[in-house]
Chains A and B, each alone.
Chain A
């Protein structure tokens, strides 16, 4: 009985089945009771889900109270700092390698944890990554990739982990695989450039420049950063 009720509310019954169900609902008190039970169960689950996800989301982005006068003072200071930084940046532009180091520091330091699926192996890999246990995280994400070789999120995590472990060949291999996936805004070519700049062997810098130009010309992920780096090198 639960199955037909589920199908009714998920609108997967055809018109004839739906009409029969509604006819039976009017005549059969047991069915009416089961429908009421089903609705209550869904209500309880929805409330439970709201509590679970709300708690998770608060850990990603807790609500902060704003003190408006302080906000205005901070904004004024920030404008002054940004102005000073603009003069400083235009008098001494960083090299591509320095751009890459800064990018790694700002973007590859922590990954987002999705607490709701705490037992999920990918979340374990992310959790280990965030704790700095990179080798363990790498091993887990490698295992998962055996089962899911074209999972972009896993390839990205795995590639970044290898990069942070300075296993550059492996990192490049993962980002190359990611390049072959049909993704919107695919950053894998940019990541290959970052890896080469970090490795910094002979001819890596020139190769990285070519990749950054590809990112711009083919409108790939992180195009804005690529443009900025090439403009300001």
Chain B
């Protein structure tokens, strides 16, 4: 399992990410490097700056990793085409967000992704409960909960199972990870004055 980007085929990368655990990060980095040439496309085709295009590309790779890890990438198209389609959409979204909301650099579409999973008649109700600047406050609180808590919740957000986190962060069991994570999220709630 050498980090030889050119020779590692897509199936190996997907298998490595799906397997999870300690090796997953290795394949994530290979995936990132293998298609990083698309960043230039973001610059030339969508007129983004190189920094903006590289953020859109990083966001793309994270989405692809999430889909592969959840086994939602069904191999209907080749991985390159799949990544390119997502990346193109992210570039378009990036331009749209730039013109409507000039603040945050690392914008993501997570709210819409989750709301779409709810029944249609609940979309508006939940949307109204989501406060505009809450994300900023939560991110500030995340930076104050300590390094171990931070790593714990970040890895939870990446989709690692409690068992995998226990192995990577040397906790004694998945149960301990779960309890610790709850404690860390409570810390976030306290810091933002009750979420």
When distances are taken between beta carbons in the complex, the residues of chain A under 8 Å from B3 are 111-112
Write the A38-78 contact mask toward B (1 if CB under 8 angstroms, else 0): 11111111111111111001101101011000000000000
- B52 CB → nearest A CB, Å: 10
Among candidates A22, A41, A51, A184, residue contacting B15 with C-beta atoms closer than 8 Å: A184
Write the A115-132 contact mask toward B (1 if CB under 8 angstroms, else 0): 011011110000000000
Among candidates B32, B135, B154, residue contacting A57 with C-beta atoms closer than 8 Å: B32
B179 close to A (CB within 8 Å): no
Provide the main secondary structure of the chain B interface: helix
- Bound-complex Cα distance A37 to B131 (A): 9
Within 8 A of B (CB), among A95-122: 107, 111-112, 114, 116-117, 119-122
Which bucket holds chain B's interface residue count? Answer: 35 or more
Q: Is the CB of A22 within 8 A of B119?
A: yes
Which bucket holds chain A's interface residue count? Answer: 35 or more
Among candidates A51, A52, A112, A184, residue contacting B29 with C-beta atoms closer than 8 Å: A112
When distances are taken between beta carbons in the complex, the residues of chain B under 8 Å from A9 are 114, 117
- B45 CB → nearest A CB, Å: 15
Q: Is the CB of A50 within 8 A of B55?
A: yes
When distances are taken between beta carbons in the complex, the residues of chain B under 8 Å from A185 are 1, 7-8, 12
* Chain A contacts to B: CB under 8 angstroms: 2, 8-9, 22, 25-26, 32-33, 35-54, 57-58, 60-61, 63, 65-66, 107, 111-112, 114, 116-117, 119-122, 148, 151-153, 156, 183-185, 187, 221
A-B residue pairs in contact (CB < 8 Å), sample of 11: A32-B126, A40-B130, A46-B157, A48-B106, A48-B154, A50-B62, A50-B108, A53-B58, A54-B58, A60-B29, A153-B23
Q: A38-B114, A41-B188 are in contact. List 18 more A-B contacts (CB 8 A).
A: A9-B117, A25-B122, A26-B121, A26-B122, A40-B130, A40-B138, A41-B185, A43-B110, A44-B135, A45-B157, A47-B104, A50-B58, A50-B62, A53-B62, A63-B53, A112-B3, A122-B22, A187-B2
* Chain B contacts to A: CB under 8 angstroms: 1-3, 7-8, 11-12, 15, 22-23, 25-26, 29, 32-33, 36, 39-40, 50-51, 53-55, 58-59, 61-62, 104-108, 110-111, 114-115, 117-119, 121-122, 125-126, 129-131, 134-135, 138-139, 142, 147, 151, 153-154, 156-158, 168-170, 182, 185, 188, 195
